[in-house]
Structure 1
Amino acid sequence: MTSQLTSPLPEIGETRPGAEWWRTAVIYQIYPRSFADASGDGIGDLPGVTAHLDDLRSLGVDAVWLSPFYRSPQHDAGYDVADYCDVDPLFGTLADFDDMLAAAHARGIRVIVDLVPNHSSDQHPWFQRALAAAPGSPERALYMFRDGTGENGDLPPNNWESVFGGPAWTRTTNPDGTPGQWYLHLFDTTQPDFDWSNPAVQEEFRRILRFWLDRGVDGFRVDVAHGLVKTDGLPDHLPAVDADSMGGGEENVPYWGQEGVHEIYRDWHRVLAEYDGDRALCAEAWLPTVDRTAEWVRPDEMHQAFNFPYLMTEWETPAIREVIAESVRAFPAVGAPATWVLSNHDVVRHASRLALTAENPQGHGIGPDSPGQPIPEVGLRRARAATTVMLALPGSAYLYQGEELGLPEVIALPPESRQDPTWFRTDGERYGRDGCRVPIPWSADAPGYGFSPTGAAWLPQPAEWAQLARDVQEDDPESTLWLYRTLLATRRAENLGAGELEWLDGYGEDVLAFRVSTGAAGSVTVLANAGSTPVPLPAGTVLVASAPFDGTDLPVDVAVWIAAD
């Protein structure tokens, strides 16, 4: 295997219709506060991103997506935005952003930024003015203010629960000290929901889109893309017990997946079309089926939607085959690519998740007392195999920072170090998402494993990070980093992202088997053994294997790409 790119990354610019870059791109998620800290304060920043763009270039990704870096009180790690058109000093300045964007484009790497339209920070000037204004005022009409129910309005307007636990309503206090109206926050109490029926909200986000498009960004990942519109009348609803926190397992939730949200993205699609080149919108939409997810990427709406049904599928061949089959049917049927993903900043890293032996709903996280603790060796082996499968699939794919190093979830975080609002709003009942957000290791022998020049880190890094540091893996052909580089280089050389998938039979129900045909480039056969015994390989040349083996029988929890001789 080789870690060198076999063909150059594409130039930034226009692409002919039907071959837009986002249809086949591999996009790397940067969680800025945990990626690289140039200032030494223990929190990653934009200059840290710029300093490591060559590392991402050598990895072979086509684009990066940056989680929020806007001005924010940081009650929810930047997803509580106080100013959508400026950089928080924690992360640098607008000039630092412009430098990073130019440096990325110079390396053929496109840049997607996060946008948070469901809610703002309670410190946003709009919300502060709303609190000071009277009920029924234009200022309050920008958010979801309502009168309470019960005697004297002492009860919230309905029974909705916050994604982070606890009630989804908080009562205000009038200037004279008396209890006032309630406001909706599907997330933390510091994250009030906008009222998207208000034209002023719609126009403000057009302005925000154009602000970043004018600076040259290539697209937006849209946070809580399924949550902006609420059912008229705000009817009562309680989620199912142990439901995924973002609604991925439920139909007919009055604040998720409402029909009216699609017109918002048709409007945004028109804004992006004002600009040259291929600008993309990617939806974070947790929906119960692939078909429902595909509704977000119809031709005049968004361009990508994370395939969360795929992410949440366990390491079982029939289930994996079913979700892939549904995806390659449903997304192309509306003219969109499937957008594959296995890890992000909101879920247990797949190097741990795929070895869990107990239910673990999205958003709950895992900690020292969680049932079904993963066996690290099993989790990493399955994660490498699962990634080998994912990167062969037609369409686009997202990687989460650190997965190329095989990082597991950090389970044993000290309680006093946890910062996720979920941990606090559930009184420690749910561990939340801190375990997948620990700053990543670059150098085994450096302070903070190279994350920060001072060794500071906003979440403590475990001792085992040293053996997983990037410099340790750099020249090791059996390392996870080397595997990712090889997969990405081979994917590009074989044009797998633009291929056609054909299922192969005859390998038994425990083996995932398919062929990806790429026209003149030929085809690649993909096998993954999720069973309990090795299976014979077909004839051909092994291009990539997720783990070393003798080349004869495919071991358990291993995947391969094979080219016909």
Structure 2
Amino acid sequence: MTNPLVRDEIAKIMGFWLQLGVSGFRVDAVPFILDTSGVKDAASLLPDPHEYLRSLRSFMNRRSGQAVLLGEVNLPYADQLQFFGGPDGGELTMQFDFLGMQHLYLALARQDARPLADALAGRPDLPDGAQWAIFVRNHDELTLDKLSEEERSEVFAAFGPDPEMQLYGRGLRRRLPPMLDGDPRRIRLAYSLLFALPGTPTLFYGEEIGMGENLAVEGRSAVRTPMQWNPGPNGGFSTAPARRLAAPVTPGGYGPEFVSVESQQHDPDSLLSFVQSLIGCYRRTFEIGFGAFELLPSGHDSVLAHAMRWDEGCVVLVHNFAAEPVSVELAVDGGSLLDLLSGTRETLAEPGTAVIPLEGYGFRWLRVLP
């Protein structure tokens, strides 16, 4: 990036795609893009690398006020903050929450919500207009590099015990459903968390139907197999001969014969229908994306309970990471609860106190009403 001709060319490329109507850009490995160490005369060529990121953001927003820069910055929270532009913002619009994701998997492995709660409590305040991107999977390996060696071993043992499932000694090359042994309760718990945690949910293609990985494909590409649109040849991804595909279709129980958009889109009990319902509920529940976050004491190590507040609105989101059912008592400022996922309403037996039963791996999205 110290070469001004390269910077100009990047601006031209961004302008081209913005004119075509794209909604933003994913910026890969941002700290390395801005790293000028070892460059001769770097101070004169690019005196402030962060100024370049600010100029990209400014250029993009002049062309499209609603476009975003979504950055990959796998650093501790305090270091991530500077890539938002510090307290004043103006650099990346969004960043992937790598720490939250890694501690989510540790919590799933332990069936204990506390690692995720601790990570969420450690997030810094963000400048106006900035946001965390919540994810449970992306196109790279599922990196666990910010966990301790012991913690990483726990996640490996739970979700990738075979060395061929691991990559670089720090991550997993698997998709979520096979890691959770296809258990629909745990899969839905994970995706409920994806949409319920404070931030913006980010889906990797195929997650909405529960695609699996193909471990016969080398490296990170194990999770980059063709999208499975229907049960037909090549999963409906292409009419080309199978040998011409960029990657082979996933075989076996997670192949298109059993997992596809076509087979799920008219099934109200399918994972696709469930994810669609979460998307709709998230869009109607603006507190999650924009509200103030508060952890709530649940009385159970396995339960993550948090509130999101915006003006007078408040939603309470409760998730049980354990297989055993629990009953959670929470202090709420209201007299009744509206279940946002089922549409049912219940009056509290004692105003200000909610007793919430949860099944094993159960979850509730609840709006607190006066």
Shorter chain as normaliser: what TM range?
0.7 to 0.9
CA 1:315–1:534 in 2, change beyond 3 Å: closer, same or farther?
Answer: farther
- 1:332 partner SS: coil
- 8 Å contact from structure 2 (residues 18, 64) kept in 1: no
CA RMSD of aligned residues (A): 3.3
Q: Which of 1 and 2 has higher RCO (CA within 8 Å, sep 6+)?
A: 1
Partner residue in 1 for 2:278: 487
TM (norm. structure 1) is 0.50
Partner residue in 2 for 1:277: 65
Deviations 1:357-384 (A, max 9, x none): 55956775448xxxxx945234x54332
Partner residue in 1 for 2:332: none
- 1:433 partner SS: helix
- 2:131 partner SS: coil
Is 1:325 the counterpart of 2:121? The answer is: yes
Measure the CA separation in 2 of the matches of 1:311 and 1:259. Answer: 34
Is 1:543 the counterpart of 2:344? The answer is: no
Partner residue in 1 for 2:53: 265
Partner residue in 1 for 2:150: none
How far is the alpha carbon of 1:296 from its aligned partner? 1.2
How far is the alpha carbon of 1:405 from its aligned partner? 0.7
- 8 Å contact from structure 2 (residues 226, 247) kept in 1: yes
- 8 Å contact from structure 1 (residues 410, 438) kept in 2: yes
CA 1:374–1:215 in 2, change beyond 3 Å: closer, same or farther?
Answer: closer
Q: Read off the aligned partner of 1:356 and give its amino acid letter.
A: F
Measure the CA separation in 1 of the matches of 2:30 and 2:322. Answer: 37
Q: Read off the aligned partner of 2:305 and give its amino acid letter.
A: A
Q: Read off the aligned partner of 1:277 and give its amino acid letter.
A: G
Q: Which has the larger radius of gyration?
A: 1
CA 1:267–1:508 in 2, change beyond 3 Å: closer, same or farther?
Answer: same
Is 1:204 the counterpart of 2:1? The answer is: no
Is 1:308 the counterpart of 2:98? The answer is: yes
Partner residue in 1 for 2:234: 448
1:91-110 to 2 correspondences below 5 Å: none
Deviations 1:117-147 (A, max 9, x none): xxxxxxxxxxxxxxxxxxxxxxxxxxxxxxx
- 8 Å contact from structure 1 (residues 365, 435) kept in 2: no
Deviations 1:523-546 (A, max 9, x none): 32211111342111568444338x
Is 1:385 the counterpart of 2:189? The answer is: yes
- 1:506 partner SS: coil
- Unmatched segments (≥5 aa) in structure 1: 1-195, 235-257, 368-372, 419-430, 546-550
Partner residue in 1 for 2:131: 337
How far is the alpha carbon of 1:499 from its aligned partner? 2.4
Is 1:499 the counterpart of 2:288? The answer is: no
Measure the CA separation in 1 of the matches of 2:65 and 2:179. Answer: 44
Pick aligned residue for 2:252 from 438, 451, 463: 463
- 2:228 partner SS: coil
Q: How many residues align?
A: 313
- 8 Å contact from structure 1 (residues 393, 501) kept in 2: no
- 8 Å contact from structure 1 (residues 500, 516) kept in 2: yes
- 8 Å contact from structure 2 (residues 167, 173) kept in 1: no
Q: Read off the aligned partner of 1:304 and give its amino acid letter.
A: M
Is 1:514 the counterpart of 2:309? The answer is: no
Pick aligned residue for 2:207 from 392, 403, 415: 403
- 8 Å contact from structure 2 (residues 160, 172) kept in 1: no
Partner residue in 1 for 2:351: none
Measure the CA separation in 2 of the matches of 1:482 and 1:225. Answer: 35
Q: Read off the aligned partner of 1:507 and give its amino acid letter.
A: G
Partner residue in 1 for 2:346: none
Partner residue in 1 for 2:84: 297
- 8 Å contact from structure 2 (residues 307, 317) kept in 1: yes
Measure the CA separation in 2 of the matches of 1:276 and 1:533. Answer: 49
CA 1:210–1:286 in 2, change beyond 3 Å: closer, same or farther?
Answer: same
Measure the CA separation in 2 of the matches of 1:385 and 1:226. Answer: 33
Deviations 1:437-470 (A, max 9, x none): 11121112x2222222356343222132222211
Compare the two structures and name the one with the higher helix fraction. 2
CA 1:259–1:493 in 2, change beyond 3 Å: closer, same or farther?
Answer: farther
Is 1:556 the counterpart of 2:360? The answer is: yes
TM (norm. structure 2) is 0.74
- 8 Å contact from structure 2 (residues 25, 70) kept in 1: yes
CA 1:441–1:365 in 2, change beyond 3 Å: closer, same or farther?
Answer: same
- 2:66 partner SS: coil
How far is the alpha carbon of 1:473 from its aligned partner? 1.6
- 8 Å contact from structure 2 (residues 141, 173) kept in 1: no
Measure the CA separation in 2 of the matches of 1:524 and 1:232. Answer: 47
Deviations 1:216-268 (A, max 9, x none): 3332111222212445348xxxxxxxxxxxxxxxxxxxxxxx99532220121
Measure the CA separation in 2 of the matches of 1:283 and 1:400. Answer: 15
